[in-house]
Amino acid sequence: MIRQINEVELQDAVDRIAEIYLTNFNDRRPLRELSNDILKLSKNDGFMCLISTQLGTIDGYLYGYKSEVTQFYRQLLDQFLSTNEKGMLEDAFEIVSIAVDKSIHNNGIGTQLLDALPPGKYYLTSDVHDVPANTFYYKNDWTLLKSNMYLHPSIPQKNLYYKEVK
């Protein structure tokens, strides 16, 4: 089952979400620090978190918020975009993170999380060299808007994906 959780439910779910994140991504932050960072992100306008509970516990998640042109990461992206592409991202929801418990990858949960998104405009970035992630977005009909973006010395090169959900 995929469902959106509210701020109170996020308090209870955040450590499990952080745990799934840490087992999927090369991030050296301690669990508590990552949990606190997610809770800080939840204060952004338009924050949304979807969770999957196919196995009776949280086994996947997707979270993000409404993107604003004043945000640092968005400004990094905008320097690579045409006026038309910037317009596509206007009022779009940025998917900050999506992951599924590693023990159950390739069971369709990631696709179900994406399919549960309400109508709107969405974008996300993935590391250029993350072949499984890039393949996943391609298979789920996301449009590759820009590739090989060198945003910042501390950020691996990124691909930018976009999708409008009707």
User: For the domain that residue 141 is a member of, what is the CATH number?
Assistant: 3.40.630.30
Q: What mean pLDDT is predicted for residues 42-71?
A: 95
As given in the structure block, the two tokens for residue 146 are: 């820009």
Please give the pLDDT value at position 1: 95
Q: Tokens 């006026």 — which residue? A: 83
pLDDT class of 128 with cuts at 50, 70, 90: very high
Q: Which of 140, 161, 163, 135 is nearest to 149 (CA)?
A: 161
Q: How far apart are CA 110 and CA 116, in angstroms?
A: 10
As given in the structure block, the two tokens for residue 136 are: 């996943």
Structural domains in the chain (count): 1
Q: For residue range 67-90, what is the model confidence (pLDDT) as tens digits?
A: 999 999 999 999 999 999 999 999
Q: What mean pLDDT is predicted for residues 111-134?
A: 97
Cβ contact 55:20 at 8 Å: no
pLDDT class of 97 with cuts at 50, 70, 90: very high
Q: What mean pLDDT is predicted for residues 83-104?
A: 96
E-state strands within 57-157: 60-66, 93-100, 120-127, 143-149
Q: Report percent pLDDT > 90 for the chain.
A: 96
Q: For residue range 3-51, what is the model confidence (pLDDT) as tens digits?
A: 999 999 999 999 999 999 999 998 999 999 999 999 999 999 999 999 9
As given in the structure block, the two tokens for residue 6 are: 């509210």
Amino acid at 86: K
Structural domain range at position 70? 2-165
Could you count the other beta carbons within 10 Å of the beta carbon of residue 10?
19
Q: How far apart are CA 56 and CA 94, in angstroms?
A: 28
Residue 55 has pLDDT above 90, yes or no: no
Please give the pLDDT value at position 4: 98
Please give the pLDDT value at position 56: 87
With a CB cutoff of 8 Å and minimum separation 6, the contacts of 164 are 120, 121, 122
User: β-strand 48-52 against 2-5: which pairing, if any?
Assistant: antiparallel
Terminal Cα-to-Cα distance of the chain (whole angstroms):
21
Residue 54 has pLDDT above 90, yes or no: no
User: Which three-class secondary structure state does DSSP give residue 165?
Assistant: strand
